[in-house]
Structure 1
Amino acid sequence: MSTRARPAATRPAAAPQPAAAYHLPGDRQSTAQARNALRQDLQIWGVEGELADSAELLLSELVTNAVQAQASAGPEVGVGFAWADGRLRLEVRDASDGLPVMNDAKEDEECGRGLVLVDVLASGWGVGRDGTGKTVWAELAVCDASAPRPAPAPLSA
């Protein structure tokens, strides 16, 4: 081999998909904190409108359920958001091993409709269990117009 040989060309790495994760206290204020974090991340990613509104509502329901499910089971709730393959995925982790249940709430009841909303709004949702709790996830399918856009590069003077 020549001493002037060049190293093999390296393929540029794919740009990382937008994602974020947070640990929040396992109390009622976590729902508002999770919504605020999601709102900030979606704004950075350039996601707005109906998609952002639906994502906030879904996340609120999932976090509220997690906090209620683990009232004495754990001190915190894990929240994550990720964009991949044309879907916005929301995940909420808690220390309870009780599975979420979709209720038939009566018209005059104040609670019990959260998972019904999740089921209607999400393009898919489910639960994953491990030895220390569960993760409830929901996904929103996204059209290209709503896809995250990279933040604009700062202008140089």
Structure 2
Amino acid sequence: MAGLEGVEQPRQRMGATAAKWAPTVEDERALKAVELFGNPAEEVVRLPSRPESAATARRLAQSVAQRQWMLPLQCSENVVLLVSELVGNAVRHTGARIFGLRMRRPRPCWVRVEVQDPSRGLPCLMPVQPLDVSGRGLFLVDKLSDRWGVDLLPRGKTTWFELRVAER
């Protein structure tokens, strides 16, 4: 590198967290998440209530939506985004140590995603202003899903959304 002697160059770090994004890398991470935590399309997957669990939940949702159910790209991206929003709410607002993630196909043209937590506090859809930097989670769920809601349980609740899936 002629002419750059004495100028500090940025270091290239190679590691799991610094790896560049690529579809194949994300695919591998999604498969690894299913291997480690289970398949939310087959059973309720229990995850620790920590911020990094949102990434795990996204990977699980991606694996089910794209590989198992082979949903159209836009639909699978919406599923992944909305899973992230519901998980983020469960982690931030419930005080839970663990939450559950479940994905189902109740009917051929529908996807249902459920996030269970031990809190009976109800989520609240707040008005969103253009410059708001937070509080958009349920707004996105409301706008992108066909329907959503909360089922109270004897100990806790299930917050869910459903998306209609176009036939291929």
TM-score for both structures, normalised by structure 2: 0.71
Q: Distance in 2 between matches of 1:88 and 1:29?
A: 24
Size of the aligned set, in residue pairs, is 126
Q: After superposition, give the CA deviation of every residue in 1:74-118 in whole Å (9 maximum; x if it has no partner).
A: 210100001121100000011111100011233322111111111
More contact order relative to length (CA 8 Å, sep ≥ 6): 1
Q: Which amino acid aligns with 1:44?
A: Q
- Which structure's residues are more often helix, by fraction? 2
Asked if structure 2 preserves the Cα contact closer than 8 Å seen for 1:88 and 1:140, the reply is yes
Give 1:47's aligned residue.
Answer: 71
Give the aligned CA root-mean-square deviation in angstroms: 1.5
- Which structure's residues are more often strand, by fraction? 1
Unaligned stretches of 5+ residues in structure 2: 1-39
**Which 4+ residue blocks in structure 1 deviate beyond 2 angstroms?**
18-21, 105-109
TM-score for both structures, normalised by structure 1: 0.75
1:111 is matched with which residue: 125, 134, 144? 134
Give 2:88's aligned residue.
Answer: 64
Give 1:101's aligned residue.
Answer: 124
Unaligned stretches of 5+ residues in structure 1: 1-17, 146-157
Q: Distance in 1 between matches of 2:77 and 2:89?
A: 19
Q: Distance in 2 between matches of 1:120 and 1:109?
A: 16
Q: Distance in 1 between matches of 2:139 and 2:73?
A: 22
> Which of the two has higher C-alpha Rg?
1
